[in-house]
Amino acid sequence: MAPLLQSPASSTKLCSLLLLTLAFLAAVDQSAAGIFDEIELIWGASRTYFFMDGDSEALALSLDKSQGSCFRSREKYLYVQIDVEIKLIEGDSAGTVCTVYTISEGPWEIHDEIDLEFLGNATGQPYTLHTNIFANGVGGREQQFRLWFDPTADYHTYSIVWNPNHILILVDGKAIRDFKNNEDKGVAFPTWQSMRTFGSLWSAEDWATQGGRIKTDWKQAPFVSSYRNYNVTWCRPSPGVAWCGDEPRDSARFDLDQKTLGDLQWVRDNSIIYDYCTDTVRFNASTLPKECTLQ
């Protein structure tokens, strides 16, 4: 996609670029393949396995005392919706962390990242969904959620929606978090570094569960979490616009709809258990991140 970002010199060139973009998007759409084609294992491959779960291509990540496992997408994306269904470790998952996240590949000091981390727990105790967003190397934007269902009993859909104006995190189609593009007010937002999706299962028994008090019971190993229906939807350019992100500044295309606003309010009332923006022990009026006063 990189050449498309250069400013076209003539309208003819613009037109052929537009056609190229559309052809490219059509090709991507058709190949909306499953997890078998879209991802590759990058560590712990020996203990993970691909399998058919009904009609769905699925991947089981596993963790034992010696090692966890991790996959990444073959492609890199710029403005995209990623959906994946995950079924978390059943029973005692204390000390384990299962993730899905997107991250850019450039220097760490300026990297972008959108994180979902599922912190395991003792049998019968609830998982915590921990989220964070880095833009231009700056993170520290933790929000944590209590899920309103048992994420180990079945698959649920977790989504990252990244468009020019918002980053949204969704659970079963319900928006739980919004990070707005406030670049014009001096808050960095991921707009130019493409990101890959990663998913991993690893051990963090020193901090993950109840502040590290509950350790992993390695007698229960191997621990397994399963991913299926990995679905990538590229952001399509609006009519008359060459690429997603080139919409006029006042375009309403990416405005949040009433359902999304309602979801976010419901989550604030029912599911959020930690929000960095309201952490008065960590921040005072002069150190509170700027976006906390804008959203």
Q: Which residues are the active-site residues? A: 113, 117
Burial status of residue 40 (CB atoms within 10 A of its CB: 0-12, 13-18, 19 or more): exposed
The tokens of 23 are what?
């052809």
Shortest distance (Å) from residue 6 CB to ligand NAG: 29
Residue (of 179, 137, 176) closest to 162 by Cα position: 179
Q: CB of residue 128 vs ligand NAG: minimum separation in angstroms? A: 4
Measured on CA atoms in the order 287, 288, 291, 293, is the torsion positive or negative?
negative
Largest interatomic CA distance in the chain: 66
Cβ proximity to ligand NAG: between 47 and 100 the closer is: 100
Binding site for ligand NAG (CB under 6 A): 81, 83, 119, 121, 125-126, 128, 208-210, 229, 231, 233, 284, 286-287
DSSP characters for 86-135? EEPPPS--TTEEEEEEEEE-S-GGG--EEEEEEE--STTSPPEEEEEEEB
- The minimum distance between CB 205 and ligand NAG, in angstroms, equals 11
d(CA 26, CA 7): 23
Q: What is the DSSP string of 194-238?
A: -EEEEEEEEE-TTTSSGGGTSPP-GGGPSEEEEEEEEEEEEPPPP
The H-or-E segment that residue 264 falls in is helix 258-270
Residue 53 or 83 having the CB closest to ligand NAG: 83
Residue (111 or 230) nearer to ligand NAG, CB:
230
Q: CB 229 → ligand NAG: shortest distance, Å?
A: 6
Beta carbon of residue 81, minimum distance to ligand NAG (angstroms, whole number): 6
Residue 47 or 169: the one with the smaller Cβ distance to ligand NAG is 169
Decide whether 19 or 33 has the Cβ nearer to ligand NAG. Answer: 33
Phi and psi dihedrals of 22, rounded to 5?
-65, -40
Q: Which is nearer to ligand NAG, 126 or 140 (CB)?
A: 126
Single-letter amino acid, residue 284: N
User: Minimum distance between the CB of residue 121 and ligand NAG, rounded to whole angstroms?
Assistant: 4
Distance of alpha carbon 67 from alpha carbon 222, whole angstroms: 10
